[in-house]
Amino acid sequence: MTANPLLDFSSTPRYDAVKPEHVPEAIASLLAEGRALVGKLTSDAAPASWDGFVLPLADLGDRLSRAWGVVRHLHSVLDLPPWREAYNAQLPEITRFYAELGQNAGLFERYKALAALPDFAQWPRARRKVVEDSIRDFRLSGAELAEANKPRFQAIQEELAGLAARFSENLLDATNAWTLDVTEEARLAGLPPDTIATARAVAEKAGVSGWRLTLQQPCVMAVLRQADERSLREALWRANATRASEFSADAGHPEWDNGPVMSRILELRREAALLLGYASHAEVSLVPKMADTPEEVVAFLRDLAGRARPSAEKDLAELREFARGLGIAELQPWDMSYVAEKLRQKRYDFSAEALRQYFPEPKVLAGLFGLIERLYGIRVEPDSAPTWHEDVRFFKLMRDDQLVGQFYLDPYARDTKRGGAWMDEARSLRDQSGSRETPIAYLVCNAAPPASGKPALYSFDQTLTLFHECGHGLHHLLTRVSEPGVSGINGVEWDAVELPSQFMENFCWDWEVVSEMTAHADTGEALPRELFDRVLAAKNFHAGLAMLRQVEFALFDMLLHSNFDPTTGKVLELLDAVRREVAVILPPAYQRFPHSFSHIFAGGYSAGYFSYHWAEVLSADAFEAFEEAARERGSVLDRPTGERFLGEILSVGGSRPALESFIAFRGRAPKPDALLRHHGMIAA
Asked if residue 432 has pLDDT above 90, the reply is no
> 133 and 203: one domain?
no
The pLDDT value given to residue 664: 97
What pLDDT is attached to residue 514? 96
Residue that terminates a domain, selected from 256, 287, 306: 256
- Mean pLDDT calculated for residue range 625-637: 95
Q: Do 183 and 109 fall within a single domain?
A: no
The per-residue pLDDT for range 47-57, each reduced to its tens digit, is: 899 999 999 99
In the predicted structure, residue 678 carries a pLDDT above the cut 90:
no
46: closest CA among 103, 100, 113, 143? 113
CB 350 within 8 A of CB 531: yes
Residue 665 lies in a domain: no
Q: Is residue 171, in this structure, part of any structural domain at all?
A: no
At 437, which amino acid appears?
Answer: E
* Size of the chain, expressed as the number of residues it contains: 684
Mean pLDDT along residues 445-468: 93
Does residue 98 share a domain with residue 182?
no
Query: What pLDDT score does 672 carry?
Result: 78
- Please give the pLDDT value at position 677: 73
- Does some domain include residue 380? no
> Cα–Cα distance between 490 and 619 in angstroms, integer?
19
Check whether residue 14 and residue 66 sit in a common domain: yes
Q: Are residues 205 and 116 in the same domain?
A: no
Same structural domain for residues 115 and 185? no
Question: Quick check: is 338 in a domain?
Answer: no
The tens digit of pLDDT for each residue in 167-207 reads 999 999 999 999 999 999 999 999 999 999 999 999 999 99
In a domain, 234, yes or no: yes
* Mean pLDDT of all residues in 605-629: 93
Whether 10 shows a pLDDT value over 60: the answer reads: yes
The residue among 227, 256, 285 that closes a domain is 256
H/E element, 592:
none
Q: How many domains does the chain have?
A: 2
CATH number at 59 reads 1.20.1050.40
Residues classed as catalytic? 469
- Count of beta carbons in the 10 Å neighbourhood of residue 115: 15
pLDDT at 684 over 60: no
Average pLDDT of the segment spanning 550-566: 96
- Tell me how far apart the alpha carbons of residues 619 and 500 are, in angstroms, rounded to a whole number: 7
Q: What is the mean pLDDT of residues 558-577?
A: 96
| Contact of 618 with 499, CB cutoff 8 Å | yes
pLDDT exceeds cutoff 80 at 634: yes
Residue 90 has pLDDT above 70, yes or no: yes
- Same domain as 183, residue 248: yes
| Strand 402-412 with 440-447, pairing | parallel
pLDDT at 434: 76
User: Residue type for 188, please?
Assistant: L
DSSP 598-643: HHHHTSS-TTTTTHHHHHHHHHHHHHHHHHHHHHHHS-SS-HHHHH
In a domain, 74, yes or no: yes
CA 303 – CA 308 distance, rounded (Å): 9
- Tell me which of 222, 256, 290 is where a domain ends: 256
The reply to whether 16 and 128 lie within a common domain is yes
pLDDT confidence tier of residue 251, bands split at 50, 70 and 90: confident
Crossing angle of the two packed helices 658-666 and 611-633, in degrees rounded to 10: 20
pLDDT in tens, 104-135: 999 999 999 999 999 999 999 999 999 999 99
| 88: containing domain | 5-102+104-140
Q: So what's the pLDDT on residue 34? A: 97
| Mean local confidence (pLDDT), 354-378 | 97
334-347 average pLDDT score: 96
Per-residue confidence at 161, pLDDT binned at 50, 70, 90? very high
* Residue 9 shares a structural domain with residue 135: yes
The pLDDT of 217-243, averaged and rounded, is 97
Residue 337 lies in a domain: no
Q: b or e along 521-545 (b: 16 or more beta carbons within 10 Å of the residue's beta carbon)?
A: beeeebbeeebbebbeebebbbbbb
What are the residue ranges of helices labelled H in 377-437?
none
Q: Are residues 132 and 235 in the same domain?
A: no
Whole-angstrom Cα distance, residue 595 to residue 247?
Answer: 11
Q: What is the pLDDT of residue 1?
A: 58
Give tens-digit pLDDT for 314-324.
999 999 999 99
> Among residues 127, 245, 236, 147, which one has the least CA distance to residue 188?
236
pLDDT tens digits for range 485-543: 999 999 999 889 999 999 999 999 999 999 999 999 999 999 999 999 999 999 989 98
**200 lies in some domain:** yes
435 in helix, strand or coil? strand
